[in-house]
Amino acid sequence: MAQREATPGEHSFKDRRTRLLVLGALSILVGVACILLGGLPMLLIALPKTVKLPGFDVAQGEWGAVLTASLLYELMGAVFIWSGVGSMRAQRWVRPVMLMVSWTWLLAGLALLVLLVLIEDQFLSSWPGSEALPSAAMAVAGIAAAAVLVVMDILLPAVFIWGYRSQDVRLTCEARHPAPSWTDRCPPQVLAWSITLWGCALLVIPALFRPALPVFGYVVSGMPARLLLLSSGAVAGILAWGSYALRMPAWWGSALFLLVTGASAVTSFLRMDLIEICRAMNMPEEEIQVLRQFGTPSCSALVAGTAALTGLGLGYLLFMRKHFMAGQEGGGYG
């Protein structure tokens, strides 16, 4: 790889355009796969009589679940394709975006692997016809499922992290595109928070097709739920914009948003168990039976998990507070 000579005021670095091209092509392939997977839920709607999944019946009005899954995959596909094209062009915004996406992907993959290990027996026994399979075949199926998860959700994001974390990659992108990009206007940590809030706002859309949600121990449904969802989405969008702009009110609003949603979830889990909440949200009985088969977490586990996640979110906000303070004082970022 060629060593680029430094001009006055620059550092010498290895030109990583080839790496960016390879990573870009890989990102586009991942994006295409996500787009195709995102179309599968819609296929279930088009062919409800010929395609059946255990505990899932589109005819019962599972539009919210279908659209949520489809929207998630289509959004991920768009992000990967967009980032892949940007990587091939050595755009400077690609590195922070792909590092954020890849770290999120890797952490989610690790969490899924732990979950698979914990519920492997229930997961395999839920497959149609699994009761007729010998134990050796079930063990092989479990190993195969874990191997696929490791490759797709751990090794693949690790490759992207390894590829983009290099400072040579950063300097290559900056040399080809010296002008600041939109990702340079706020710190990567704040950018990740802003994009997360935008994601929360977008996920309100499919939830409107099945308007029911627990709020402080009571399940709200129908038009009140739609209004509450729309309001929550609007708040998340406003906070996302304000966070990106490093506005201090957005920091306070984000903290309040976390506290309210966390307190609502904890109160709901204390008043109702998960099965009660699902029934109150008009979840089909088939899906509830699948939940029972996998085993539902206890009230104390749900409360502890929600409290821990809320605490982590607040800790992350405290970690970012200095950036918002700098933005309020007019110092900006970078």
* Domains of the chain by residue range: 16-184, 186-334
Cβ neighbours of residue 306 under 8 Å, at least 6 residues apart?
Answer: 262, 265, 266, 269
- Length of the chain in terms of residues written: 334
Residue 252 confidence (pLDDT): 96
- Separation CA 209–CA 151 (nearest Å): 34
pLDDT of residue 276: 77
SS3 241: helix
* Angstrom distance (rounded) from CA 278 to CA 294: 15
Tell me: pLDDT of 114 over 80.
Answer: no
For residue 250 the two structure tokens come to 């957005």
Q: Contact, 95 vs 169, CB < 8 A? A: yes
pLDDT at 47: 58
Q: Which residue has the higher pLDDT, 260 or 51?
A: 260
Bigger pLDDT: 241 vs 304 = 241
Residue 316's Cβ-count burial label (10 Å; 0-12, 13-18, 19+) is middle
Which DSSP string do the residues of 168-190 spell out, in sequence order? HHHHHHHHH--S--GGGGS-HHH
Work out the number of other CB atoms within 10 angstroms of the CB of residue 118: 12
The neighbour count for residue 42, using CB atoms within 10 Å, is 15
Name the band, by pLDDT with cuts 50, 70 and 90, for residue 119.
Answer: low
Q: Which two tokens stand for residue 321?
A: 């507070």
Residue type at 67 in one-letter notation: L
Burial of 8: CB neighbours in 10 Å, binned 0-12, 13-18, 19+: exposed
For residue 55, is pLDDT > 60? no
Q: How far apart are CA 326 and CA 245, in angstroms?
A: 11
What are the DSSP E strand ranges found in 124-185?
Answer: none
- Regarding predicted confidence, which is higher, 196 or 50? 196
Residue 247: which region, alpha, beta or left (left: phi > 0; alpha: psi -120 to 50)? Answer: beta
Residue that is written with structure tokens 């309020």 in the block: 328
Structure tokens at 313: 């979110």
Please report the pLDDT score of residue 59 as a whole number: 47
Q: How far apart are CA 211 and CA 223, in angstroms?
A: 7
* Residues 270, 219, 221: CA angle, nearest 5 degrees: 170
Kindly report the backbone phi and psi dihedral angles of residue 218, in degrees, each rounded to the nearest multiple of 5, phi listed first.
-130, 145
Higher pLDDT, 315 or 46: 315
Alpha-carbon span 86 to 207, nearest angstrom: 32
CA-closest candidate to residue 166, choices 333, 316, 23, 319: 23
**Percent of the chain clearing pLDDT 70 (strictly above):** 75
Write down the pTM of the prediction. Answer: 0.73
pLDDT digits (tens, 9 = 90+) for 62-101: 555 666 777 788 888 999 999 999 999 999 999 999 999 9
137's CB contacts (< 8 A; 6+ apart) are none
Of 28-32, 65-69, 132-136, 293-297, the range with the highest mean pLDDT is 28-32
Rounded distance between C-alpha atoms, residue 241 and residue 200, angstroms: 13
Any idea what DSSP says for residue 56? B
Listed in sequence order, the DSSP H helices in the chain are: 17-46, 63-88, 94-118, 120-125, 135-150, 156-164, 167-176, 188-202, 204-207, 222-244, 248-271, 274-280, 285-294, 299-328
Question: How much is the pLDDT for 118?
Answer: 64
Contact 210, 124 (CB under 8 A): no
* Residue 131 DSSP symbol: G
